[in-house]
Chains A and B, each alone.
Chain A
Amino acid sequence: MKYAAPTALLIALFAPLAVHSDSILAIAIYGFMAASLAVSFNLIFGFTGQLSLFHAASFGVSAYIVTILVTAFGWNFWLAVVPALAVVLILSLIVGTICFRFKLKEFYFAVVTMAFSEILRLVILNWNGITNGSLGITVVDRPSLWTPSGAVQISSGIAWYYLTLALLVIVYVVCQRILSSWIGRCLAAIRLNDQLGETLGIDVFKYKLLSFAVGSVLAGLVGAFYGFYSGFVEPHYLSISLGLDIIAMVLLGGVGSLIGPVIGAVILTALPHVIDLSAELRIGLYGSILIFVILVMPKGIVGLLGSRKNAA
């Protein structure tokens, strides 16, 4: 289990040599981005114990900002990422401050973050002048990323594959570093017994906010790439169902482990394509698999594999 992440990375690095299908690459790319989302979400949920439903909003807002800056104002993609992440940071600090100052816990926190997220979605949905409302914005040409030199265009499936893989690695490493440090221990303390943590000198508010903001900004980073790769952004990016999907990925893979959400995300992204059946059968089977997996492996896939790594 210790070598799970490096092994997976190695396989991922060489997989495109064997796979030549554009659609499989696309599934992998979406899988990587979903995994990045899930890993960053798990920082907030699995490791800090805060069930945030703001993740989709961070993701979507950033995707919108980048897309608007690039399509309407002609910005360079990389440049556009900066204000996008800044906005996500500010939003998450505002929402986080409100929630944590008022000591909203558990489902109260979940529902209030969902409320903020929904309000943002409705604003984007109805702010027709800027966001083109429900139609969303299409990146007219095949989306491509310019490297700073302006020479190489990243537009092929393979290039995006490695780019999003790198994104996942970055998100993973950032979370891993945070969790293996003293911050990770503070987060664990907050998750398990915040009153005790507080009497041991941990500034619970500060660390909750930190984890929420870092997780949200990472989600924003994923959003920036996601909108660009898929070629369109739409209000659905901020939907509750995306938030629930992320939760399902994390739970399936295993909360409280770093690699778990990656596994969960890849499986849940690929699953609908693997079970290629009539629509009714497919969703029925999808649900049954979800239920079955949880009943058989109550701690997620990683929990089943045995080595549960704690964050302290």
Chain B
Amino acid sequence: MLLDIQGLIKRFGGLTAVSNVSFGIERGEIVGIFGPNGSGKTTTLNLIAGILQPTEGSILWKGNEIGRLASFEVAQQGLIKTFQNPQLFPELTVAQHMRIACHLHIKRALGIGRVLTLLRGTPGELDGVLTRKIDQMLELCRLADKRGEVAGALSYGSEKMLGVAMGMVCEPELLLLDEPASGLGNDEISNLDAVLRDLRTHGVTLCIIDHKVGFLGRLADRAIALHHGAIIAVGKTTDVLDNSAVVEAYLGKKHA
């Protein structure tokens, strides 16, 4: 098991946002998380990514506890999370965002040898490698023609896609996506679908929250449904979406 969550609880004052959640993620899977608004989906991913610290419970990554690590340490272990509300560096261009997101790549590739690049002034060969990689990624995410634009000038949809592209360029083992498709049009969603499937073939494990049931329902192998912070259904995606409790709380009757 790549990620194993046991008895996860998060309380905010009197409110229990995540109550006793346990599940696991296997390598190579795509796991979808569904649930009504405020059911604790984002909070769960934030706990995994180290953005929030759990009140109780354990999060095992390849068998090691990561529940108390800071978010950058979690990221260095290979877990990357994107944000539900796009988080960007407003003054920087799309390409610069991607360069920053290559931070871990450089660190892994050069280690402490990075310091030598200070003397030479450029990261040397790596430079070409990264440029190619970034170009490729932007192409995939249909952002290539926006590479020179600053983030503040992007439309909402492009902001979202940039977030996904940055997450991917970090080369995570497990990528946590918080509503990647919200704000995207149909066309972009099918592109996203293709990109994510491709990512899986490269060995990346995915855990995705989204309210676009059509999109995520098709993509995810397995699904978890949350309600009031607790798991109400788990299993094959189609089964979960057929589950009557899920239909009632989340999909509305007609969708069933």
Q: Say whether A and B bind each other.
A: yes
Q: Which residues of B contact A177 (CB under 8 A)?
A: 118-119, 121
Whether B49 and A199, one on each chain, are in contact in the complex, defined by CB atoms closer than 8 angstroms, is yes
Per-residue CB proximity of B122-160 to A under 8 Å, as 1/0? 110000000000000000000000000000000000000
Binds A, one of B25-33, B81-89, B204-212, B237-245: B81-89
Whether A196 and B80, one on each chain, are in contact in the complex, defined by CB atoms closer than 8 angstroms, is no
Q: Which residues of B61-96 are within 8 A (CB) of A?
A: 70-72, 75-76, 80-81, 83, 87-93, 96
* Interface membership of A22, Cβ < 8 A: no
Whether B122 and A193, one on each chain, are in contact in the complex, defined by CB atoms closer than 8 angstroms, is no
Q: On chain A, which size bracket covers the interface?
A: 20 to 34
For residue A201, which residue of chain B has the nearest CB? B75
Whether B117 and A181, one on each chain, are in contact in the complex, defined by CB atoms closer than 8 angstroms, is yes
Interface size on B, residues (CB 8 A): 34
Q: Which residues of A contact B99 (CB under 8 A)?
A: 185, 312
Whether B72 and A185, one on each chain, are in contact in the complex, defined by CB atoms closer than 8 angstroms, is no
For residue B96, which residue of chain A has the nearest CB? A312
Which of B49, B92, B114 is packed against the most chain A CB atoms within 10 Å? B92
State the main secondary structure of chain A at its contact with B.
helix
Whether B100 and A188, one on each chain, are in contact in the complex, defined by CB atoms closer than 8 angstroms, is yes
Q: Which residues of B contact A182 (CB under 8 A)?
A: 103, 106-107, 114, 117, 123
Q: What is the bound-complex CA distance between A17 and B70, given in angstroms?
A: 58
For residue B90, which residue of chain A has the nearest CB? A192
Q: Which residues of A contact B92 (CB under 8 A)?
A: 188, 192, 310, 312
Q: Name the one of A185, A188, A201 contacting B76, with C-beta atoms under 8 angstroms.
A: A201
Interface CB pairs A-B, < 8 A, 12: A181-B114, A181-B117, A185-B100, A188-B92, A197-B72, A200-B75, A201-B170, A202-B100, A203-B72, A310-B91, A312-B99, A312-B100
Question: Which 3 interchain pairs have the tightest Cβ spacing?
Answer: A201-B75, A192-B89, A312-B96
Known: A185-B99, A193-B89. 8 other contacts (CB 8 A): A180-B122, A193-B90, A198-B72, A199-B49, A199-B83, A201-B103, A310-B93, A312-B92
